[in-house]
Structure 1
């Protein structure tokens, strides 16, 4: 289950000659495996677009081949095998596209291999685009999300389902033939076997989904240490309640930034109100658990090993100074917490 939290406050105050791509190495790219065997919530009241499970893989991902200087006829492609179709009308994490897994009711979303960070992955779109003008940056991990695609999940599905996603760049012939030169990364995904559950723990923000911070003066925020305590921080609590069948089991929870978060600074949500509409410039929020900033899209670090019938998680929201060029205006951001049984 998941809950969305909203923070609201007012802050005073010409074409080159055709060529083939250049690559970081002459190898056949990296290859990694990723297996998801989580317990899946099959509750029919959950809407399409609900995150059912999430997992990331690093390791050999850091050896993904990069490319640059591609010619005008070169392409960049993301290809799934077996081929899959886009789920129409359903968006995944960060608004990304969702594709069929072969299990009715369950789709998958995968992150890009040429851009994005651990803190801010970029959803991948299957298919091909021109590679002219594109270049890739080294990445540290690939993330996969399982997304509910319709009202009823086929809980009779047994065994495993395998999907291979390949990232390639080069000429059309190189890409279509899966040549060694064009291969950047291949992710072999194994789904299942799953255990389906009709109920799970629920998580509820104490006092409601909207957290309001007191106003802060521009001079006060400018003088504050970046990421430090401003004196305007607001504590909030998330209450977890579990059915008897879940007591004593292991849960993970993770944080999904619905609005934009910093790709390099942990726990920082950027202002979702544009300066064109009066929003504060270079002001955001930082979310902390204890004295440490939370890590968005970290699916492994936050664990409850022996969940109880009732327990709570405590956090703090505070203003965050992006730079000293900040200007007055309202500040707003949203994130959700996803609770996932292992």
Structure 2
């Protein structure tokens, strides 16, 4: 299986735009992340399981949200990153939720598409500040 490391940079978003949207709503800065999983022919009949491990703090705001890893004067406050898979929040650390069985050769290559977007953790305008936001997510892929 082969999926390279990658970095996704979201476009900047104005605070006024972020505050005007409901929490968890899609913003104009949302980015699609495409992961390609390529397996050898010997994988036919096996199951591929994958799960998501946030690096840093998991937000108490809900599933799929990772708190900002940056702190200090350059950091945005009360803004994290929201990861979704097929439009639903990613469930972190769940090693049973995401899998597929390779039943034929056409399934040896599979694409998993997810999105990353800003998440506003407060409705209070003074709690949300401008700045940089960083979140990291590890995707573990296992063949059984």
Tell me if TM exceeds 0.5.
yes
Name the one with the larger strand percent: 1
CA distance in 1, matches of 2:44, 2:102: 7
Shift of 1:311: 1.4
Residue pair 1:204, 1:240 contacting (<8 A) in 2 also: no
Higher relative contact order structure (alpha carbons within 8 Å, sequence separation ≥ 6): 2
Shift of 1:336: 0.7
Partner residue in 2 for 1:341: 143
How many Å apart are 1:228 and its aligned residue? 1.0
Q: Paired residues, what number?
A: 138
Give the structure-1-normalised TM-score: 0.39
For residue 140 of structure 2, give the secondary structure of its aligned residue in structure 1: strand
Partner of 2:20: 223
Match for residue 101 of structure 1?
A: none
Pick the structure with greater CA Rg.
Answer: 1
Give the structure 2 partner of residue 255 of structure 1: 52
C-alpha distance in 1, partners of 2:117/2:68? Answer: 13
Match runs of 1:1-342 below 5 Å: 201-204=1-4, 209-263=6-60, 265-274=62-71, 276-306=72-102, 308-324=107-123, 325-342=127-144
Task: Describe the SS at the equivalent of 2:135.
Answer: strand
Any conservation in 2 of the 1:221–1:321 contact (CA below 8 Å)? yes
Q: Which residue is equivalent to 1:56?
A: none
Q: 1:264 deviation in Å?
A: 5.2
Q: Deviations over 1:258-288 (max 9, x none)?
A: 12111451000110000x2420000011011
Structure 2 distance, partners of 1:264, 1:328, is 19
Task: Give the aligned CA root-mean-square deviation in angstroms.
Answer: 1.5
Per-residue deviation, residues 154-208 of structure 1 (Å, max 9, x unmatched)? xxxxxxxxxxxxxxxxxxxxxxxxxxxxxxxxxxxxxxxxxxxxxxx22236xxx
For structure 2, the residue ranges without an aligned partner over 5 or more in a row are: none
Deviation sequence 1:283-342 (CA, Å, 0-9, x none): 011011121010111111101122622111001111100113210000001011001122
* Counterpart contact for 2:67–2:135, Cα < 8 Å: yes
Equivalent residue for 1:20? none
TM-score, normalization: structure 2? 0.89
Moved over 3 A (4+): none
Q: Distance in 1 between matches of 2:50 and 2:100?
A: 8
8 Å contact from structure 2 (residues 54, 66) kept in 1: yes
Deviations 1:205-253 (A, max 9, x none): 6xxx110111000011111111111121111100111122113311211
